Amino acid sequence: MDFELSMEQEILRRTVRSFAEKEIAPVARELDEKEEFSLETCRSMGELGLFGMVVSEEYGGQGMDYVSYIIAVEELARVDGSHAATVAAGNSLGIGPLLYYGSEAQKRKYLPKLCTGRSLWGFGLTEPNAGSDAGGARTTAVLDGDEWVINGSKIFITNASAPNSLGVTVMARTGTREDGRGAELSCILVERGTRGFTAREMHGKMMWRSSNTSELYFDDCRVPRENLLGQRGKGFHQMLETLDAGRLSIGAMGLGGAQGAYELAMRYAKEREQFGRPISSFQINAFKLADMAMEIEAARLLLYKACWLKDRHQPFGKLAAMAKLYCSEVMGRVASQAVQLHGGYGLMKEYNVERFFRDQKLLTIGEGTSEIQRLVIARLIGAI
Partner 1 sequence: MNLVVCIKQVPDTETQIKVGADGKSINMDDIKWVMNPYDEFGVEEALRIKADKGGDVIVVGAGPKRVTEALRTALAMGADKAILIEDEGLYGADPIFVGKLLAKAIEPLNPDIVFFGQRAVDDDCGLASSSVAEALGMPQLAVIVKQELDGDTIKVQRPVEGQTNVLSTKLPVCLTAQKGLNEPRYASLPGIMKAKKKPLEVKTLADLGVERDDKIEIAAINPPPERAPGKVIQGETPEELAVNLAKALREEAKVI
CA distance readout (Å), 30 to 38, 212, 232, 351: 11, 15, 44, 13
Q: At its nearest, how many Å lie between partner 1 and the CB of residue 13?
A: 10
Does residue 284 interact with partner 1 by CB under 8 A? no
Cα–Cα distance, 122 to 246 (Å, whole number): 13
Does residue 139 interact with partner 1 by CB under 8 A? no
Range in contact with partner 1 (rule: CB under 8 A) among 6-14, 212-220, 252-260, 294-302: 6-14
Q: Which is nearer to partner 1, 23 or 191 (CB)?
A: 23
DSSP label at 171? E
Cα–Cα distance, 293 to 286 (Å, whole number): 11
Binds partner 1 by CB under 8 A, chosen from 15, 140, 151, 336: 15
Binds partner 1 by CB under 8 A, chosen from 24, 38, 42, 49: 49
Q: If we measure between CA atoms, which residue out of 35, 345, 1 comes closest to residue 208?
A: 35
Q: Is 271 a catalytic residue?
A: no
Segment 262 to 281, residues that bind partner 1, using CB under 8 A: 276
Q: Let me know how long the chain is.
A: 384
Does residue 8 interact with partner 1 by CB under 8 A? yes
Q: At its nearest, how many Å lie between partner 1 and the CB of residue 342?
A: 21
Range in contact with partner 1 (rule: CB under 8 A) among 49-57, 121-129, 130-138, 236-244: 49-57
Q: How far is CA 202 from the centre of its chain?
A: 17
Range in contact with partner 1 (rule: CB under 8 A) among 13-21, 96-104, 175-183, 358-366: 13-21
Q: Which is nearer to partner 1, 71 or 172 (CB)?
A: 71
Q: At its nearest, how many Å lie between partner 1 and the CB of residue 297?
A: 14
Count of residues interacting with partner 1 (CB under 8 A) = 20
Cα–Cα distance, 366 to 156 (Å, whole number): 9
Cα–Cα distance, 14 to 20 (Å, whole number): 10
Q: At its nearest, how many Å lie between partner 1 and the CB of residue 314?
A: 24
Q: Which is nearer to partner 1, 49 or 366 (CB)?
A: 49
Q: Which is nearer to partner 1, 7 or 384 (CB)?
A: 7
Q: At its nearest, how many Å lie between partner 1 and the CB of residue 196?
A: 38
The amino acid at residue 357 is F
Q: Which is nearer to partner 1, 15 or 151 (CB)?
A: 15
Q: Which is nearer to partner 1, 264 or 339 (CB)?
A: 264
Active-site choice (74, 295, 329, 367): 367
Does residue 223 interact with partner 1 by CB under 8 A? no
- Half-sphere exposure (Cβ direction) of 332: Cα atoms closer than 13 Å: 13
A 10 A CB-CB count for 377 gives 17
Cα–Cα distance, 305 to 308 (Å, whole number): 5
Q: Which is nearer to partner 1, 61 or 368 (CB)?
A: 61
Across the chain, where does the E strand assignment appear? Answer: 120-124, 140-144, 147-158, 165-176, 183-191, 197-201, 213-224, 228-229, 273-274, 277-278
Per-residue x/- track, 29-48, partner 1 (CB under 8 A): ------------------xx
Query: Under a CB-based contact definition with an 8 Å cutoff, are residues 244 and 317 in contact?
Result: yes
Q: At its nearest, how many Å lie between partner 1 and the CB of residue 12?
A: 6
Cα–Cα distance, 224 to 315 (Å, whole number): 35
Q: At its nearest, how many Å lie between partner 1 and the CB of residue 115?
A: 10
Q: Which is nearer to partner 1, 18 or 231 (CB)?
A: 18
Q: If we measure between CA atoms, which residue out of 151, 165, 122 comes closest to residue 223?
A: 151
Q: Is 217 exposed, middle or buried (0-12, 13-18, 19+ CB in 10 A)?
A: middle
Segment 52 to 81, residues that bind partner 1, using CB under 8 A: 53, 57, 62-64, 72
DSSP label at 58? G
Binds partner 1 by CB under 8 A, chosen from 24, 42, 50, 87: 50
Query: Under a CB-based contact definition with an 8 Å cutoff, are residues 248 and 320 in contact?
Result: yes
Contact residues for partner 1 (CB under 8 A)?
A: 7-8, 10-12, 14-15, 18-19, 47-50, 53, 57, 62-64, 72, 276
Instruction: List active site positions.
Output: 367
